[in-house]
Chain A
Amino acid sequence: MQTINILFLLFGLGLFGFYLGRGRSRAIANPLGGIRQLHSLPSYYGLHTALWCALPSLFILGFWLIFNEALINSIVMSSVPIDIAPIDTASYNLLLNKVTNIASGVMPRDGQGAGVVNAADSLSSLRVTSRWSMTLLLLVLAMAGLFWGWYKVSVDFRARPAVEKVMQNLLLGCACLAIFTTVGIVFSVLFESIQFFRTVPIYDFVFGLEWSPQTAIREDQVGSSGSFGAVPLFVGTLLVSAVAMFIAVPVGLMSAIYLAEYASKNVRTFAKPALEILAGIPTVVYGFFAALTVAPFLRDLGNSFGVSISSESALAAGGVMGIMIIPFISSLADDVITAVPQSMRDGSLAMGATQSETILKVVIPAALPGIVGGIMLAVSRAIGETMIVVMAAGMAANLTANPLDSVTTVTVQIVSLLTGDQEFDSPKTLAAFALGLMLFTVTLMLNIFALHIVKKYREQYE
């Protein structure tokens, strides 16, 4: 039976269990003088029965879905005749693929060795057996749960606490998903990175000055030894981010100050959402804009002044990224500026300071921690931004600090190393995970620090 059908069936049984439990609780209560004799409301007895019916089966089904394929594969592979038995992981995967394809009918059976065909047959039959025995087990389990829930219904049974206990665990599980995600991220980048650092020393990766991830496919290939020095990528990332911040910080900050301190109500209600539009535009749109409008414009502008600007310059990518970050900085700065107590402004104005002096000498210093935190969050965003640089920045890893040149960034390299089909264990693919580890570590530190500052600042004025 299909998994989706099993799910529907379990759902149906659960629903049946609900009505069964509820009905029985009412039937028990009625002769005693109505449902007020019960410990819990009838629907809780129903829910209790339904949970007993569906939950254990769902757990088993989940485990089965995760481990079934791997188990069957290993059984099949261990039973293949010795003459075609695989010797290493690569040939293991090859043979497994072949067997799976024959079993599912993608590959023709004729012309294959008897061992392979036998393996394919045993794979198919094991799959069928496993699926049917699974379905049977689930049904038996669901029925047993149904009966147990039905049996437990009684006047004194505390159904509501039992159901609420299950709900509590469910809610806790959902909340813990955030932790699982973080752990998943750490594990996925860490394990592959450790594998990568076995072939490429970590020192060479972090301090190497040359990046050309092409590794030789054949032994005698020329010039593709592959060097994984990530410094040009770090410098490129910093350069693009610096250009972005150079635009976003003054513009974002000044517009936040103007909107919070000067603008009339009409201007504010119009300009604020209009600026926020920039935050809602997908990054791929910015990338298109940078690559097809801004970059050619800058190149032509440079030509007319006799300056050579690369058509994949860091300036174009960084400039557009800066525009993207403007609303991010302005809304964060707006929050912290409006949180500064009015009494501080009044004090300064009463001493005869002009409004700009008040802002520069009183409001901004008071809001500074929050603003710095916001800027750091924006930097972490700029570093991790992908689509704009993938579309508008180059692929060549130049080690330069000139924003008119073409540079490449960490995220561009991750994308270019991982799109398309690759062997999963080549250093080229693993390098992407090492870059991902760097990216994650740096942005995580920036975020934790920035969030800490912002939180502390908020507490100060609350």
Chain B
Amino acid sequence: MSKATEHLSKIKHSLARRNRAEARFRWYGRIAIFIGLAAVAVLFGDIVNKGHGAFRTTYINLDVSYDQDLIGVNNLADSEQLAAGNWDALTKSALRTKFPNISGRSDKRRLNNLLSNGAGFDLKDRLLESPQLLGKTESVWMLADDDIDTYYKSWLAGEPYAARLSDKQVIWIGELHQQGLIKLQFNSNFFMRGDSREPEQAGILGAAIGSFLTLIVTLMLSFPIGVCAAIYLEEFAPKNRWTDFIEVNINNLAAVPSIIFGLLGLAIFINFFHVPRSVPLIGGLVLTLMTLPTIIITSRAAIKSVPPSIREAALGMGASRYQVVLHHVLPLALPGMLTGAIIGMAQALGETAPLLMIGMVAFIVDIPSGFSDPATVLPVQIFLWADSPERAFIEKTSAAIMVLLSFLIIMNTSAVWLRKRLERRW
């Protein structure tokens, strides 16, 4: 065998090996992409799977007689009577009429536990809405307890989970189901109420409004400040050490862990300036400092993308540097800045850790109505519910996550849309 063919066979041999290595390498890449995409799919699938049930909740239909003696109210205009009224007696008596042959204290208690302990107050609201019902009887769909809700949903799905129910309650639910007196209905409480210790009465409205107020404060502060800082750094800052120092600071702040901003808020805003805890105002202040670097960096990129010829033309026409910026650069860079602001707001909307430090983790039932009302925000609400031991809160948490994610998806797609729509290529 000649030397040349020997070499050739060697090369051919090694070539096959090298090609195999090439194919292997490609597969590594495909597997990596697959892992990433699978993570997205599993995460979303898991959340939707756990949470979709929370958008419907169990109601039980019972005949309620609005007996004046039972509640101890004969005049609906008397607020003292209303406050002292025994509203639970209405639900109790309705249950007793439905299941007359129940005796014994524990059975009665179990029977009463079929309904949510807020059902009585719902009846009160119903009565206030239509006062002519006083003394009459009507059939009402009433909110069921969270354990009943969990059981009924799991039973409908074919895998009953009755760990927290007694056998009798299971039988009663079976009877109600046969008579068509128990059903799943759209869970308006979830969207219309604040937080509650009772899962079936807990809603996200309070947290959503808290988030909204906090984001308003954040936007009002961080957008103007961020744009001003970006304009200064791009258009006016002299090239010196001070400017470099500002830039290093901004880049570092973008990478500082968010919890550190919480410590800052606690030490400076709360302990030094005595801003009240747990209010959207302080949440907005902390989130402003946190999102500012993002907004400055994107705004600078937007300003940079405006071609210098525009500036030169304006300067040539006799405009001052501020007129150039205000009349030409800023309007042209605005779409890019807005995109940056939306991305920054999405980041702020999903942020939890710094808000835990400044007391936005409190249990707040009331729906906030201003910037200085105690409030919580959506991600913190999710954190609080995820920590709750009740099984029904798992469903609620996942549903709240779905709401939060839909807000984020809307914000991010609108940012992408805005960029595509308004961005100008020079």
* Co-complex (A, B): yes
CB <8 Å contact, B43 and A386: no
CB <8 Å contact, A387 and B353: yes
Chain A neighbourhood of B257, CB < 8 A: 380-381, 383-386, 411, 439-440, 443
15 A–B pairs (Cβ distance < 8 Å), ordered by A: A168-B232, A171-B229, A171-B236, A175-B246, A178-B249, A181-B253, A187-B268, A189-B267, A251-B35, A262-B29, A288-B386, A289-B47, A292-B50, A384-B259, A440-B260
Flag the segment in B14-22, B127-135, B177-185 that touches A: B14-22
CB <8 Å contact, B260 and A436: yes
CB <8 Å contact, A418 and B289: no
Q: Which residue of A lies closest to B28 (CB)?
A: A254
Residue from A178, A185, A263, A384 in contact with B296 in the complex, judged by beta carbons closer than 8 Å:
A178
Residue from B33, B249, B273 in contact with A258 in the complex, judged by beta carbons closer than 8 Å:
B33
Smallest CB-CB A-B distances: 7 pairs: A384-B257, A258-B29, A282-B350, A188-B267, A254-B32, A174-B228, A171-B232
Q: Which of A282, A355, A415, A432 has the most CB of B within 10 A?
A: A282
**With contacts A262-B26, A356-B26 known, is A283 near B237, CB below 8 A?**
no
CB <8 Å contact, A377 and B260: no
Tell me if B255 is interfacial: C-beta within 8 Å of chain A: yes
Main secondary structure of the interface of B (DSSP, over half): helix
Flag the segment in A78-86, A209-217, A271-279, A302-310 that touches B: A271-279
Chain B neighbourhood of A355, CB < 8 A: 22
User: Closest approach, in angstroms, between the C-beta of B213 and any C-beta of chain A?
Assistant: 15
Residue from A160, A262, A288, A384 in contact with B260 in the complex, judged by beta carbons closer than 8 Å:
A384
Cα–Cα distance between A432 and B352 once the two chains are bound (Å): 18
B252-283 contacts to A, CB under 8 A, are 252-253, 255-264, 266-268, 271, 273-274
Interface string of A161-182 (1 = CB under 8 A from B): 0001001101110111111011
User: Closest approach, in angstroms, between the C-beta of B339 and any C-beta of chain A?
Assistant: 14
Main secondary structure of the interface of A (DSSP, over half): helix
Interface string of A428-448 (1 = CB under 8 A from B): 000011001001100110011
Interface string of B143-184 (1 = CB under 8 A from A): 000000000000000000000000000000000000000000
CB <8 Å contact, A284 and B383: yes
Chain B neighbourhood of A172, CB < 8 A: 232
Cα–Cα distance between A174 and B228 once the two chains are bound (Å): 6
CB <8 Å contact, A284 and B22: no
Q: What's the A-B contact tally at a CB cutoff of 8 Å?
A: 257
Residue from A185, A255, A380, A444 in contact with B32 in the complex, judged by beta carbons closer than 8 Å:
A255
User: Closest approach, in angstroms, between the C-beta of B22 and any C-beta of chain A?
Assistant: 5
Tell me if B225 is interfacial: C-beta within 8 Å of chain A: yes
Residue from B36, B40, B256, B398 in contact with A251 in the complex, judged by beta carbons closer than 8 Å:
B36
A302-336 contacts to B, CB under 8 A, are 323, 326-327, 330
Interface size class of A (residues with CB under 8 A): 35 or more
Chain A neighbourhood of B289, CB < 8 A: 181
Cα–Cα distance between A160 and B47 once the two chains are bound (Å): 58
CB <8 Å contact, A436 and B46: no
B30-62 contacts to A, CB under 8 A, are 30-33, 35-37, 39-40, 43, 46-47, 50
**With contacts A176-B246, A287-B386, A357-B18 known, is A282 near B379, CB below 8 A?**
yes
**With contacts A386-B353, A387-B383 known, is A177 near B256, CB below 8 A?**
no
Chain B neighbourhood of A383, CB < 8 A: 257
CB <8 Å contact, B232 and A175: yes
Chain B neighbourhood of A278, CB < 8 A: 36, 39-40, 43
Cα–Cα distance between A252 and B350 once the two chains are bound (Å): 23
**With contacts A164-B320, A170-B228, A188-B263 known, is A257 near B43, CB below 8 A?**
no
CB <8 Å contact, A179 and B259: no
Tell me if B251 is interfacial: C-beta within 8 Å of chain A: yes
Tell me if A354 is interfacial: C-beta within 8 Å of chain B: yes
Residue from A254, A291, A292, A443 in contact with B255 in the complex, judged by beta carbons closer than 8 Å:
A443
Residue from A323, A357, A424, A433 in contact with B263 in the complex, judged by beta carbons closer than 8 Å:
A433
Cα–Cα distance between A360 and B156 once the two chains are bound (Å): 56
Chain B neighbourhood of A274, CB < 8 A: 36-37, 40
Tell me if B82 is interfacial: C-beta within 8 Å of chain A: no
**With contacts A172-B232, A386-B353, A443-B255 known, is A432 near B263, CB below 8 A?**
yes
